[in-house]
Amino acid sequence: MELYNRKVKIISSAILLCISILGFSQTPVAQNFHDTKGNAEVTPAGQLQYTLPIDLPPGVKNIAPEVSLIYTSGGQNGLAGYGWNISQRIPKTTINTGM
């Protein structure tokens, strides 16, 4: 009886595994693949820098800020995660930031 239960468990597990693999298969051909529009560069210091623009809706008079996520391979913990930061629209100055 124990051998029978073990065989049933193994066969049931194999069937569930096959069904779950089919559920996570590749994207159907009919769907389009959307590529990220990032840009990879090597800095003068030899680090990889990947810039990923973020599309934002336009605001007043159709003006939209240009915001990007920037990953630097040798970067420290940033606002968006380890090595990731958010680009600034302008450099920090005492006039703009008060610092």
Q: What is the pLDDT of residues 1-42, one digit of tens each?
A: 677 788 888 888 878 776 776 666 555 666 665 667 888 999
**Token pair of 73, please?**
């391979």
- For residue 3, what are the CA distances in angstroms to 7, 11, 14, 71? 6, 12, 17, 55
pLDDT score at 98: 57
**Token pair of 48, please?**
């990889």
| 67 contacts 79 by C-beta, under 8 angstroms | no
State pTM to two decimals.
0.51
| 75 contacts 69 by C-beta, under 8 angstroms | no
The mean pLDDT value for 59-64 works out to 84
Q: What percent of the chain has pLDDT over 90?
A: 4
The pLDDT of residue 88 is above 80: no
Backbone angles phi, psi at 83, to 5 degrees: 85, -10
Based on DSSP, count helices (H) and strands (E) in the chain, helices before strands. 2, 6
